[in-house]
Amino acid sequence: MTTSTLNISQRRKDFPLIAHSALAYLDNAATTQKPFSVIAAERDYYETYNANVHRGVYDISERATQAYEGVRIKVAQFIGADNPLGVIYTRNTTEAINLVARAWGAKHLAAGDEIVITEMEHHSNIVPWQMIAKETGAIIKYVPFSTATASPHWEELPRLLGSKTKLVAFNHVNNSLGTINPVAEIIAAIKKLSGAKILIDGAQGVPHLHVNVQEWDCDFLAFSAHKMLGPTGIGVLYAKEGILKTMDPFLGGGDMIKEVSMERSTWNDIPWRFEAGTPNIAGVVAFGAALDYLNTIGIQAIHEHEFLLTKLALELLGAMDGVTLYGTKNAEGRCGVVSFNVNGVHPHDTGTLLAREDIAIRVGHHCNMPIMRRYGIMGTARASFYLYNTIAEVERLAAALPKIQRLFAPVKSRNGG
C-alpha cells in the first residue's frame, strides 16, 4: 500500500490524547483531537493577555483585540474569502445556520417562498429551516436522496427550483456517508435555474478539503472549529458582505450596537453587528493556532492521507461476510467517513465492544435520520479519520469485527430457533 506524505508518527506526538494513549480515535467526524499548540494558545491568552476585546485602551486589551481580529483574517484566507468582514464568529455550524435562518430568513422569506435543501442534510441544516418556514409560511422542498449513488438526486434540481426559490442549502460533505458533493457544479446549476441565495454546510468539508468561497461563489458557508483541531464553542459563518448589510442582528446586546437610546438602537457595522456580548476570545485565539497547524501540513496532504485510510477500510470491511457498508463503494468521491453495520448486531453493541478494544467510533443516526430511513435502518457504526490516524488503526478496527461476529453468533442461532 502507498504511504502518505504526512509524517504520521511525528504528527501523533503533537496531540496529547493521541501521543499518550492506546486508543484508536476514529470519531473525528464528531470532533477532532487538539494539538499542544492549540491548547497552548488558549492557555497563553488566559495567562498573558486575558482581557475583553474592543474599546480597551490598555495594553493587554489591545493585544486581545489584535489576536481576535487577526484570526478573522486567517479564517478568511483559509476559505479564500477576499474580505475578513464577511467572517462572523458563532458558537458552531449549528448556530451559524440558525443565524442565517433567523437574521436573513426572517427578513427575506414570505408565505409561499421556497427553501430547497436535500434529504441528506445534518439535522442542523434541516431544523432551522423548518422553524423559520413555520414562522414565515415559506415551504421546504427536498432534493431526494439516492441510496444507489449515496448522494442527492441532483438531476431533479430543474423540477425543484424556480422563481419562488429563495434559498438553497446543502452540505459539502455528508457526515454519515462521507459523500463529497460537487459544490461548484451544483452552484453553477442552481444559478442557471434561480436567483436563490446559496448556503453551504461546510462542517465536514472545510476540515478536510480545499474550499474557496470565491471560486464557489456561494452566499453563506458555515463550519465549526472543533472539527478541525480547534476548540469547542467556536464556529464561523462566512457571508457575502452585501448580503450581511441587508440583515438585522441575530441577538441583541452589547457590542452589536452603534447607539442606544431609551426608544431605539442602531446597529454596529458588520461583522460585529452579529457578535453580541463578550465573545469566545480564548476559543478564537486557539482556533487561529489550529489554522496555523493545518496550513503547515496542507489540506491536500491531509485529504490524500485520509483517502488511503478510507480506501483500506472499504477494502477490509467490504471483503467481510456479514458486514454491510453504506455509501459509495470506492473511496473516490468520499471523505474519511466509513459507516457500516455488523449484520444482526445493534450498532450500539458494535460500538461498545469496539470500545473494549480501545477503538473509539460513533454509533446511531448521526443526526441524519432521513438518510437512515432511506436505508431502512435505525443507525450505523461510523469510523471517521483525520490526519493522525494510521493504517494500523484501520487494521485494528477490521480485526475486531470478526470477534464481534463470533460473540453474537450463538445469540443469533438461539434467536433463530
151 is a site residue for ligand PMP (CB under 6 A): no
Give the sign of the dihedral formed by CA 352, CA 354, CA 180, CA 376: negative
Taking the complex as a whole, how short is the minimal distance between the CB of residue 201 and ligand PMP, in angstroms? 5
- Terminal CA-CA length for the chain: 44
The C-alpha atoms of residue 67 and residue 50 are separated, in whole angstroms, by 11
For residue 222, the cross-strand partners are: 201, 237
Q: Which CB sits closer to ligand PMP, 122 or 311?
A: 122
In the chain, DSSP finds a helix count (H) and a strand count (E) of 16, 17
Taking the complex as a whole, how short is the minimal distance between the CB of residue 124 and ligand PMP, in angstroms? 4
171 is a site residue for ligand PMP (CB under 6 A): yes
98 is a site residue for ligand PMP (CB under 6 A): no
Kindly indicate which of the ranges 178-186, 198-206, 242-250, 298-306 contains the residues binding ligand PMP, using the contact rule CB under 6 A.
Answer: 198-206
27 is a site residue for ligand PMP (CB under 6 A): no
Q: Which helix H or strand E contains 89, and what residues bound it?
A: strand 87-90
Residue choice 28, 98, 151, 224 for contact with ligand PMP (CB under 6 A):
224
Binders of ligand PMP in range 357-416 (CB under 6 A) = 367
Residue choice 175, 280, 341, 405 for contact with ligand PMP (CB under 6 A):
175
Taking the complex as a whole, how short is the minimal distance between the CB of residue 96 and ligand PMP, in angstroms? 8
90 is a site residue for ligand PMP (CB under 6 A): no
Kindly indicate which of the ranges 122-130, 251-259, 332-340, 374-382 contains the residues binding ligand PMP, using the contact rule CB under 6 A.
Answer: 122-130
Catalytic choice (367, 369, 377, 378): 367
280 is a site residue for ligand PMP (CB under 6 A): no
One-letter amino acid of 151: S
Q: Which CB sits closer to ligand PMP, 201 or 393?
A: 201
Q: Which CB sits closer to ligand PMP, 113 or 201?
A: 201
Binders of ligand PMP in range 178-197 (CB under 6 A) = none
33 is a site residue for ligand PMP (CB under 6 A): no
The C-alpha atoms of residue 81 and residue 406 are separated, in whole angstroms, by 52
201 is a site residue for ligand PMP (CB under 6 A): yes
The C-alpha atoms of residue 347 and residue 171 are separated, in whole angstroms, by 25
The C-alpha atoms of residue 224 and residue 229 are separated, in whole angstroms, by 10
Give how far Cα 416 sits from Cα of 270, 321, 409, 410, Å.
64, 18, 10, 10
Give how far Cα 104 sits from Cα of 145, 214, 215, 245, Å.
27, 20, 23, 10
208 is a site residue for ligand PMP (CB under 6 A): no
Taking the complex as a whole, how short is the minimal distance between the CB of residue 56 and ligand PMP, in angstroms? 30
Q: Which CB sits closer to ligand PMP, 87 or 323?
A: 87
Note whether 131 and 189 are within 8 A (CB): no
Residue choice 98, 124, 136, 179 for contact with ligand PMP (CB under 6 A):
124
221 is a site residue for ligand PMP (CB under 6 A): no
Q: Which CB sits closer to ligand PMP, 124 or 165?
A: 124
Residue choice 28, 33, 65, 92 for contact with ligand PMP (CB under 6 A):
92
Give the residue among 178, 177, 172 at the shortest CA–CA distance from 125. Answer: 172
For residue 197, the cross-strand partners are: 167
Query: Which residue has cell 415559506?
Result: 138
DSSP letter string over 266-326? EEPPTTGGG--SS--HHHHHHHHHHHHHHHHH-HHHHHHHHHHHHHHHHHHHHTSTTEEEE
The C-alpha atoms of residue 106 and residue 221 are separated, in whole angstroms, by 19
Taking the complex as a whole, how short is the minimal distance between the CB of residue 55 and ligand PMP, in angstroms? 30
Q: Which CB sits closer to ligand PMP, 6 or 143?
A: 143
Asked about 218 being catalytic, the answer comes back as no
122 is a site residue for ligand PMP (CB under 6 A): yes
93 is a site residue for ligand PMP (CB under 6 A): yes
The C-alpha atoms of residue 40 and residue 46 are separated, in whole angstroms, by 10
350 is a site residue for ligand PMP (CB under 6 A): no
Applying CB under 6 A, the residues found at the interface with ligand PMP are 92-94, 122, 124-125, 171, 175, 201, 203-204, 224, 367
Catalytic positions, written as ranges: 367
